[in-house]
Amino acid sequence: MLKKVGRVEEATEVSSGIYLLRISCPLKEPYPGQFVMAQPPGLEEIPLSIAGYSGGELKLIVAAVGETTRALCRMDVGDRLWVRGPLGRGFSYMSRKTAVAVAGGVGIAPLIYLVDARKREGLKTKLVAGFKSRVGGKLIQLLEDLGDVVIATEDGSIGAKGDAVSVASSMITRSSMVFACGPEPMLRKVVDLCMSVGAAVECSLERYIKCGVGICGACLIEGEEVSMRVCADGPVFDGETIVKLSDFDKLALDRSGCKVPLHGGCPSR
């Protein structure tokens, strides 16, 4: 997948520190759950979930948390950047089961695309979008435009009070197909819940992605008898695979290839 030049058409702060970017860029039609590697000129190349794609226009939801994401969010209309993708394997988004999408924070990005893609196929999806606290009106509007949406906040400042998983739990039954993206402790709850009620589940996972094409090994996530490349075998994995990944919600490789606690340091440092 060669790099393409993208042109920023819009960069709007939709909630505090969260931006919607619209980038015109001719890509092979992505599947919901796939990602791109995006690089503002001269800066780092970073992986970002695709939040939408139609008519040659790519949508991204970006949290301005690091040097590169801040630079991306500060881009002006007409600015150009490199885009490589779509990469990875996405959700089984055409499932005809009763679908529930569960998002934690900016994990909402790939699920926006999923809900939208299903809608275009005439398939309904219930979306539960969980946040720590109140989010901006523009983000809420963007989510409500998708259709059947429940907003949840942990402090109850808007929407239902509680985390996304507890709020979604009453909607998930044996015949549900659940799609989820968010922090791993939250995804663990989703997987546990789905396993206990017998629902099918797919989660989009995150690791430090470097090559994006499955050869460098930076993003491996593993279990006793399984080794998966998040960038090429994922980022979407089904519940049966995730329960075999003992690294899930626990360990990740650091930049040297040393396996460390998520957000921890390497013993040989």
Partner 1 sequence: MLKVDVAGLELSPPLVLASGILGVTAKIMARVSEHLGAITTKSVGARRREGYPNPVVCPLPYGLLNAMGLPNPGIDYFEEVIREFKKLSKKPIIVSVIGSDSPEYVSSRAEEAGADAIELNVSCPHAGGLLELGMDIEQVRRIVRDLKSILSIPLFVKLSPNIQDIGKLAETCEKAGADGITAINTVRAVKIDLLSKKPLFKSIYCGLSGAAIHPIAVRCVYEIYEKVSIPIIGVGGVVNWESAVELILAGASAVGIGTALTQDIAIAKEIASGILEYMRSEGFKSVSEMIGLAHKR
Binding site for partner 1 (CB under 8 A): 1-3, 5, 37, 39, 41-42, 44-46, 80-82, 84, 210-218, 220, 222, 225-227, 229, 232, 253-259, 266-269
Nearer to partner 1, 173 or 227 (CB): 227
205 and 234 Cβ atoms separated by less than 8 Å: yes
Give the nearest distance from C-beta 201 to partner 1 in angstroms. Answer: 23
- Structure-block tokens of residue 24: 């015109």
82/192 with CB nearer partner 1: 82
Count CB neighbours of 79 within 10 A: 17
Taking the least distance from each CB to partner 1, the nearer of 94 and 226 is 226
Minimum separation from the CB atom of position 30 to partner 1 (A):
17
Alpha-carbon gap, residue 203 to 190, rounded angstroms: 9
CA-to-CA separations, 56 to 28, 29, 78, 152, in angstroms, rounded: 9, 9, 15, 32
- Pairwise CA distance, residues 249 & 210, whole Å: 20
Q: With respect to partner 1, which residue has the nearer C-beta, 39 or 153?
A: 39
Q: Which is nearer to partner 1, 6 or 182 (CB)?
A: 6
User: What's the closest the beta carbon of residue 89 comes to partner 1, in angstroms?
Assistant: 12
Contacts 24+ apart (CB under 8 A), 263-269: none
What is residue 73's three-state secondary structure? helix
Q: How far is the CB of 248 from partner 1 (least distance, A)?
A: 14
Q: State the nearest-atom distance from the C-beta of 225 to partner 1, in Å.
A: 8
